[in-house]
C-alpha cells in the first residue's frame, strides 16, 4: 500500500515537473523575443547592429525612437491607426450591443432563425470574402480612405451573440417593471442593460480594440496611398521593404524595433484596466445558453 502511494507521489511529481518544464520553454519562446525587441529598441544605432540576441540594452539610447517618429514620420500612420481603432471600436460595440438587445426581445418574430444566420456567418473565413469586399468598397468609392477600414468588420456574429448572452442574464422583471413605469426601449437599453452588462462591453471592446489596432489584411487590400497607411502597414514597409531597396539612409535595427515598441504601447496600457472585466466577461458569456 505504501509502495503504491510512493509510486503515485513520484509519478505525480514527475508529471508536474514535465509540465513546468514545458510551460517554462513555452514562456521563453514568447518572452525572449519580446525582451530582445525592447532591448534593441533602447540601444544605440551601432550597438543594435551587433549580431546576437540581447535581453538588455547596449549603450542605452532613444535614437531609434526619435528617428522612426520624426525622420520616418511614424506619427502619421500612428494617428491613422488611432482614428480607425477608436471610431471603429465605438461603432462596433454600439451596433453589436443594439443587435444583441434586439435578439432577447420576446415578441421578435424569427428570432431563432436570426441567431442561426448569425452563427452561420461565424463559419465563413474573412479571407473568403476579401475580393467581394474589395469590389464593394471600390464601387462605393471608399478605397484609399480610412472609412473603408472603419466599415470593415463593423459588426460580427461573435460580438452580437456575446452581448446577447449578457443581456439574457438581466432579469426580465426589471425591464417589464420599467416598461410599466413608462420607460421606452432606448431608455431601458441605456440605463438598465448597458450598466448591468459592463463586463460584456469590456470583453467586446478589448477584442475589437486589439483586432483593429493590429489590423493588417484590410489595410493592405484597401489602402495604397502612403498618407492613409495605418501602423501595421507602415511597420511592414519599415521592416520588410527597406531590406529590398537601396537608399542612402540606412534603417538600423533599433529603428525597426522602436516602431514595434510604439505599436505595442497602447495595448500594454489598455489591458490592465479591462483585464478583470475581460476574464469575468469570458466566463459569464460562455456559461449562458
Residue-range domains of the chain with CATH: 1-71 (no CATH), 72-250+260-287 (1.10.3720.10)
Instruction: Report the largest interatomic distance among the alpha carbons of the chain, rounded to a whole angstrom.
Output: 78
Question: What value does the mean pLDDT take over residues 154-175?
Answer: 83
Q: Considering the chain, what percentage of its residues have pLDDT values greater than 70?
A: 88
245 pLDDT tier (thresholds 50, 70, 90): very low
Residue 289 above 50 pLDDT? no
pLDDT over 50 at 44, yes or no: yes
CA–CA distance from 113 to each of 119, 180, 288 (Å)?
10, 29, 19
State how far the Cα of 75 lies from the Cα of 111, in Å rounded to an integer. Answer: 46
Q: Which of 41-55, 67-81, 239-253 has the lowest mean pLDDT?
A: 239-253
Within 10 angstroms of residue 114's Cβ, the number of other Cβ atoms is: 15
Spatial distance between the Cα atoms of 256 and 189, rounded to a whole number of angstroms: 46
Q: What is the pLDDT of residue 3?
A: 53
Q: Which of 58, 110, 73, 86 is nearest to 229 (CA)?
A: 73
Cell numbers describing residue 199 = 463586463
Confidence of residue 36 (pLDDT cuts 50, 70, 90): confident
Contact 223, 142 (CB under 8 A): no
Q: Answer whether residue 61 shows pLDDT above 60.
A: yes
Mean pLDDT of 66-73: 82
pLDDT tier at 85, thresholds 50, 70, 90:
very high
Amino acid at each position: 500500500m505504501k509502495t503504491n502511494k510512493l509510486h503515485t507521489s513520484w509519478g505525480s511529481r514527475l508529471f508536474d515537473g514535465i509540465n513546468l518544464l514545458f510551460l517554462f520553454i513555452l514562456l521563453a519562446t514568447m518572452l525572449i523575443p519580446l525582451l530582445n525587441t525592447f532591448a534593441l529598441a533602447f540601444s544605440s544605432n551601432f550597438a543594435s547592429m551587433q549580431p546576437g540576441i540581447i535581453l538588455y540594452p547596449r549603450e542605452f539610447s532613444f535614437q531609434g525612437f526619435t528617428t522612426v517618429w520624426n525622420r520616418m514620420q511614424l506619427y502619421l500612420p500612428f494617428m491613422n491607426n488611432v482614428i480607425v481603432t477608436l471610431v471603429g471600436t465605438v461603432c462596433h460595440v454600439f451596433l453589436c450591443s443594439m443587435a444583441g438587445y434586439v435578439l432577447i426581445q420576446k415578441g421578435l418574430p424569427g428570432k431563432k432563425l436570426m441567431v442561426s444566420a448569425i452563427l452561420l456567418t461565424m463559419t465563413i473565413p474573412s479571407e473568403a470574402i476579401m475580393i467581394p469586399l474589395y469590389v464593394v468598397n471600390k464601387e462605393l468609392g471608399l478605397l484609399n480612405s480610412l472609412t473603408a477600414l472603419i466599415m470593415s468588420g463593423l459588426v460580427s456574429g461573435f460580438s452580437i451573440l456575446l452581448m446577447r448572452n449578457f443581456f439574457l442574464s438581466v432579469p426580465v422583471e426589471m425591464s417589464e417593471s420599467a416598461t410599466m413605469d413608462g420607460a421606452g426601449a432606448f431608455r431601458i437599453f441605456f440605463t438598465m442593460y448597458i450598466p448591468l452588462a459592463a463586463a460584456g462591453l469590456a470583453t467586446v471592446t478589448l477584442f475589437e480594440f486589439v483586432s483593429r489596432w493590429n489590423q493588417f489584411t484590410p489595410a493592405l487590400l484597401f489602402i495604397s496611398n502612403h498618407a492613409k497607411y495605418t501602423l501595421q502597414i507602415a511597420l511592414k514597409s519599415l521592416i520588410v521593404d527597406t531590406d529590398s531597396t537601396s537608399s542612402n539612409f540606412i534603417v538600423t535595427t533599433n529603428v525597426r524595433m522602436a516602431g514595434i515598441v510604439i505599436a505595442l504601447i497602447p495595448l500594454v496600457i489598455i489591458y490592465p484596466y479591462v483585464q478583470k472585466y475581460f476574464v469575468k466577461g469570458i466566463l459569464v458569456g460562455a456559461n449562458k445558453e
